[in-house]
C-alpha cells in the first residue's frame, strides 16, 4: 500500500536503519523497485525527480506507482524529489504524492526557511511529510573550486535553526556527496554529519548516494541518515544490460526482450542497496 514517509521513517528511526529512496522514470524501473522491495521485504520510497516529471509526466508517475503500491504488501512511499516551489508541491499533493521535498537550498537561509515552512504548513494537515535541504548538494559535473567546496556543506548550527523554524520531517544534508557519477571516491564529512544529527535530532537524508562505497553508507546510517537516495546506480545497471542485450542480439526487434533483462538487472542492484541500508526484512 501507499503510505506516508513519516510512518516509514518512524520505524527506521526506532530500528536505526535507512530506507532506500529510488528514482523512477518509467514502468520498468517502478517495477524493478517494487520487485526488489518485495523480494527483500523492505519498506521503500519511490521518488520522481524534476527530470522524471518532465519525461514521464506527473499523472503517469502517480498511476504507475499507485499500481505498484496496490499490488504489494510492503509499504511504498511516493515522494517528490527536489520540489522547486509551492505550486509544484501543491500539484503533487493533489495528484496523490504521500511525501514531498522542497529544495530551497539555492536560496539564502531566511528565504529557504520561509518557503520550506510554507510547504510544511500545507502538507502537514494532509498527513504528508516534508523533506527540506540545507547546504548545497552539487552535481559531480558541477565545477567548483576546492577552496569554496566546503562552503556548500551544511552548517550544523544553521541546520538546528532550519529544523526548528520549518518543522520539516527530514533534512537533506550536504556532507560531501554529489549527484551523478563520481570521479574517484567521494569523501564524506562524518564529523559534520554527527554534529548535524546531534543538533537536529531528525532523520537525515543522503543525496547523491550512487557510487558511495557500502561501508561509507553504513557509517552514515550509523550517524543518523534514514533516507538514502539512489538514481545513477540504477541507470547504470539498466543501460549496461540494455547495451549487452543489444550487442549480443543485434537482430532483436522486440523491446521487451531487451528491457526485461534490464529491469532484472536494476532490481538486483536495488536489492543489494536495501541490504546495505538495513531496511531488508523490515516490512
Residue stretches of the annotated binding site: 82, 103, 133, 179-180, 207-210, 229-232
Distance CA 153, CA 155 (A): 6
Q: Is 50 in the site for ligand G3H (CB under 6 A)?
A: yes
Instruction: Confirm if 20 and 212 have CB atoms less than 8 A apart.
Output: no
Residue with cell string 538486483: 268
Return the one option of ligand 13P, Zn ion, Na ion, none that residue 224 interacts with (CB less than 5 to 8 A, by type): none
- Count, residues near Na ion per rule CB under 5 A: 3
Which is nearer to ligand G3H, 39 or 181 (by Cβ)? 181
Told to judge if 233 belongs to the known catalytic residues of this protein, a careful annotator would answer no
Nearest distance, CB of residue 229 and Zn ion, angstroms: 5
Instruction: Confirm if 222 and 187 have CB atoms less than 8 A apart.
Output: no
What part of residues 215-234 is at the interface with ligand G3H (CB under 6 A)?
A: 231
Nearest distance, CB of residue 271 and Zn ion, angstroms: 22
Give the H or E element holding residue 139: strand 138-139
What part of residues 82-101 is at the interface with ligand 13P (CB under 6 A)?
A: 82
147-186 mask for ligand G3H (x: CB under 6 A)? --------------------------------x-------
Catalytic residue, from 81, 155, 169, 233: name it. Answer: 81
What part of residues 173-232 is at the interface with Zn ion (CB under 5 A)?
A: 207
When binding is defined by CB under 6 A, the residue of 98, 99, 200, 232 that contacts ligand 13P is: 232
Instruction: Confirm if 211 and 187 have CB atoms less than 8 A apart.
Output: no
Annotated binding site for Zn(2+): 82, 103, 133, 179, 207
Angle, CA 110 vertex, CA 105 and CA 116 arms, to 5°:
55
Which is nearer to ligand 13P, 179 or 245 (by Cβ)? 179
What is the greatest pairwise CA distance in the chain?
60
Which is nearer to ligand G3H, 29 or 283 (by Cβ)? 29
Nearest distance, CB of residue 2 and ligand 13P, angstroms: 20
Mark 244-279 as b/e (b = at least 16 C-beta within 10 Å).
Answer: ebeeeeeeeeeeeebbeebbbbbbebbbbbbebbbb
- 213-219, Cβ contacts within 8 angstroms, sequence gap of 24 or more: 213/185, 214/276, 216/186, 216/188, 217/18, 217/276, 217/277, 218/276, 219/188, 219/190
Give CA separation, 93 vs 97, 128, 270, in Å: 5, 8, 27
Annotated binding site for dihydroxyacetone phosphate: 180, 208-210, 229-232
Residue 90's Cβ-count burial label (10 Å; 0-12, 13-18, 19+) is: middle
What part of residues 159-218 is at the interface with ligand 13P (CB under 6 A)?
A: 179-180, 207-210
Return the one option of Na ion, Zn ion, ligand G3H, none that residue 217 interacts with (CB less than 5 to 8 A, by type): none
Which is nearer to Na ion, 179 or 241 (by Cβ)? 179
Active site residues: 81
Q: Given the rule CB under 6 A, which residues bind ligand 13P?
A: 23, 81-82, 179-180, 207-210, 229-232
Q: Given the rule CB under 5 A, which residues bind Zn ion?
A: 207
Amino acid at each position: 500500500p501507499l503510505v506516508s514517509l513519516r510512518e516509514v521513517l518512524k520505524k527506521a528511526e526506532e530500528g536505526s536503519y535507512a530506507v532506500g529512496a529510488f528514482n523512477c522514470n518509467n514502468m520498468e524501473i517502478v517495477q524493478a523497485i517494487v520487485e526488489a522491495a518485495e523480494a527483500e521485504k523492505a519498506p521503500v520510497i519511490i521518488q520522481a525527480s524534476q527530470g522524471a516529471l518532465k519525461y514521464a509526466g506527473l499523472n503517469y508517475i502517480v498511476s504507475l506507482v499507485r499500481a505498484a503500491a496496490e499490488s504489494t504488501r510492503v509499504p511504498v512511499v511516493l515522494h517528490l524529489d527536489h520540489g522547486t516551489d509551492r505550486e509544484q508541491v501543491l500539484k503533487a499533493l493533489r495528484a496523490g504524492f504521500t511525501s514531498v521535498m522542497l529544495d530551497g537550498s539555492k536560496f539564502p537561509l531566511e528565504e529557504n526557511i520561509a518557503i520550506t515552512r510554507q510547504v510544511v504548513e500545507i502538507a502537514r494537515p494532509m498527513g504528508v511529510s516534508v523533506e527540506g535541504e540545507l547546504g548545497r548538494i552539487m552535481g559531480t559535473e558541477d565545477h567548483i573550486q576546492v577552496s569554496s567546496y566546503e562552503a556548500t556543506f551544511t552548517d550544523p548550527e544553521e541546520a538546528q535553526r532550519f529544523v526548528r523554524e520549518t518543522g520539516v520531517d527530514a533534512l537533506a544534508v550536504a556532507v560531501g556527496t554529489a549527484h551523478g557519477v563520481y570521479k574517484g571516491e567521494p569523501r564524506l564529512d562524518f564529523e559534520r554529519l554527527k554534529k548535524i544529527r546531534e543538533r537536529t535530532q531528525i532523520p537525515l537524508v543522503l543525496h547523491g548516494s550512487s557510487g558511495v562505497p557500502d561501508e561509507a553508507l553504513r557509517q552514515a546510517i550509523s550517524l543518523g541518515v534514514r533516507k538514502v537516495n539512489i538514481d545513477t546506480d540504477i541507470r547504470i545497471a539498466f543501460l549496461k544490460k540494455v547495451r549487452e542485450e543489444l550487442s549480443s542480439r543485434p537482430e532483436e526487434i522486440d523491446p521487451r526482450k531487451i528491457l526485461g533483462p534490464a529491469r532484472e538487472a536494476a532490481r538486483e542492484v536495488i536489492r543489494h542497496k536495501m541490504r546495505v541500508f538495513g531496511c531488508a526484512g523490515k516490512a
